[in-house]
């Protein structure tokens, strides 16, 4: 089978190589999936460039990247229901703590990580779920319901943020998003009741005004370090800040007393190690929203397998309006 792999860290064009690789037979509890699409996430390109804290691929001779994808189960190992043969699935965590990911025509992984796709959901959407979908679902709906609450989504035009806006709206929340002005309509299209310029020096007061003068109940946070000061001013007592990123300020100062005297819960989310119960809840919420037509997963661009390096560069540029996918059977 054809797959893309790297043998050292570096720029995408220098280290990603397309070649022939042997397929593997599933062991007990595993399935082999014939993939249709692989998704490229920011974490994938950071790992390939050796810029991801806590990740060390140096001991591996060869690394096939990407965590997310979608396809059809073509083989099952012992202990897996043979009725799953031919099942359409989407994949999560394929590349977590192991050498093989979805940038290939086939992948073999634990059966639980191949989730049955609802009948109405395409491979394009399935491949887009993994990291962004599970992160958004957990940050918005991982605790108590947000029905009739106010949810603030920072970075509402990003892959996670866009899904988070839709999920919060689907759950009956009033939704405020921050974004670049060029993306205001994108956020409104996802269901945001109001959109604030993320660069505004008055964004805290603008957020409160958009919330009708009341503090917000839950915050979905992509840049914890940059936004913590504003968040302290707008979060309600006993509110929750669901944090999944802090790329631009990785050692933020925490305003302890303003947070503690509001009894704010700051929940850091690493979707790779999410326990089974909240992961199942996130999957169920994603499937329900998709089945009800309340959520869409836009695709920015699809690359052939031979242009995986260009796909990585596209993700690194940051100028996307949806998922970046690889058609693993093209090129």
DSSP string across 2-16: EEEEBSS-S-HHHH-
Strands 323-327 and 30-40, by their bridges, are antiparallel
Q: Is 109 helix (H, G, I), strand (E, B) or coil?
A: strand
Q: Are 39 and 127 in contact (CB under 8 A)?
A: yes
Q: Residue 318 has which token pair?
A: 């940051």
Instruction: Give the model's pLDDT for residue 53.
Output: 55
According to DSSP, residue 315 is labeled H
Domains of the chain: 2-117+298-327 (3.90.180.10), 132-272 (3.40.50.720)
What are the phi and psi torsion angles at 194 (to 5°)? -150, 150
Burial of 294 (0-12, 13-18, 19+ CB in 10 A): middle
Residue with tokens 């205001």: 184
Instruction: Give the model's pLDDT for residue 127.
Output: 98
Instruction: Give the model's pLDDT for residue 331.
Output: 73
Considering only CA atoms, which of 64, 103, 85, 132 is closest in space to residue 297?
132
According to DSSP, residue 119 is labeled T
Burial of 92 (0-12, 13-18, 19+ CB in 10 A): buried
Considering only CA atoms, which of 302, 287, 291 is closest in space to residue 116?
287
Residue with tokens 């001013």: 233
Radius of gyration of the chain (CA): 20
Q: Are 190 and 151 in contact (CB under 8 A)?
A: no
If one counts every other C-beta atom within 10 angstroms of the C-beta of residue 11, the result is 14
Question: C-alpha distances in angstroms, 192 versus 116, 170, 246?
Answer: 30, 11, 23
Q: Are 90 and 127 in contact (CB under 8 A)?
A: yes
Q: Is 234 helix (H, G, I), strand (E, B) or coil?
A: helix
Ramachandran bin of 172, using left for φ above 0, alpha for ψ from -120 to 50, beta for the remaining angles: left
Per-residue pLDDT for the chain (331 aa), expressed as one digit of tens each? 999 999 989 999 999 999 999 999 999 999 999 999 999 999 999 999 985 555 666 656 789 999 999 999 999 999 999 999 999 999 999 999 899 999 999 999 999 999 999 999 999 999 999 999 999 999 999 988 999 999 999 999 999 999 999 999 999 999 999 999 999 999 999 999 999 999 999 999 999 999 999 999 999 999 999 999 999 999 999 999 999 999 999 999 999 999 999 999 999 999 999 999 999 999 999 999 999 999 999 999 999 999 999 999 999 998 889 999 999 999 7
3-state secondary structure 199-225: CCCCHHHHHHHHCCCCCEEEEEECEHH
If one counts every other C-beta atom within 10 angstroms of the C-beta of residue 291, the result is 13
Q: Largest Cα–Cα distance in the chain?
A: 61
Residue with tokens 């759950």: 171
Instruction: Give the model's pLDDT for residue 319.
Output: 80
Q: Are 218 and 242 in contact (CB under 8 A)?
A: yes
Number of H helices, E strands in the chain: 10, 15
């Amino acid at each position: 089978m054809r797959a893309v792999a790297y043998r050292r860290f570096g720029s995408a064009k220098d280290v990603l190589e397309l070649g022939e690789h042997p397929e593997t037979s599933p062991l007990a509890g595993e399935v082999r999936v014939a993939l249709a699409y692989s998704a490229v996430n920011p974490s994938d390109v950071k790992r390939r460039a050796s810029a991801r804290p806590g990740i060390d691929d140096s001991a591996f001779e060869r690394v096939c990247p990407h965590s997310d994808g979608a396809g059809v189960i073509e083989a099952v190992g012992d202990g897996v229901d043979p009725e799953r043969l031919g099942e359409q699935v989407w994949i999560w965590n394929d590349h977590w703590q192991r050498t093989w990911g979805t940038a290939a025509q086939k992948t073999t992984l634990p059966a639980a990580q191949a989730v049955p796709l609802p009948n109405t959901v395409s491979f394009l959407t399935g491949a887009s779920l993994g990291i962004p979908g599970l992160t958004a679902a957990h940050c918005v709906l991982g605790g108590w319901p947000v029905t009739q609450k106010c949810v603030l989504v920072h970075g509402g035009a990003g892959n996670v943020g866009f899904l988070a806006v839709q999920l919060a709206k689907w759950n009956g929340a009033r939704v405020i998003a921050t974004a670049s002005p060029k993306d205001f309509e994108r956020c409104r299209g996802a269901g945001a009741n109001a959109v604030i310029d993320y660069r505004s020096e008055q964004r805290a007061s603008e957020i409160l005004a958009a919330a009708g003068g009341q503090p917000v109940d839950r915050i979905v946070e992509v840049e914890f370090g940059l936004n913590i000061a504003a968040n302290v001013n707008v979060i309600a007592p006993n509110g929750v800040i669901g944090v999944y990123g802090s790329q631009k300020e990785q050692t933020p100062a925490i305003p302890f007393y303003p947070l503690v005297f509001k009894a704010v819960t700051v929940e850091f989310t690493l979707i790779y190690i999410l326990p089974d119960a909240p992961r199942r809840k996130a999957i169920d919420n994603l499937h329900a929203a998709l089945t009800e037509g309340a959520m869409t997963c836009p695709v920015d661009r699809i690359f052939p397998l031979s242009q995986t390096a260009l796909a990585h560069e596209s993700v690194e540029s940051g100028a996307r309006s949806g998922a970046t996918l690889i058609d693993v059977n093209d090129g």
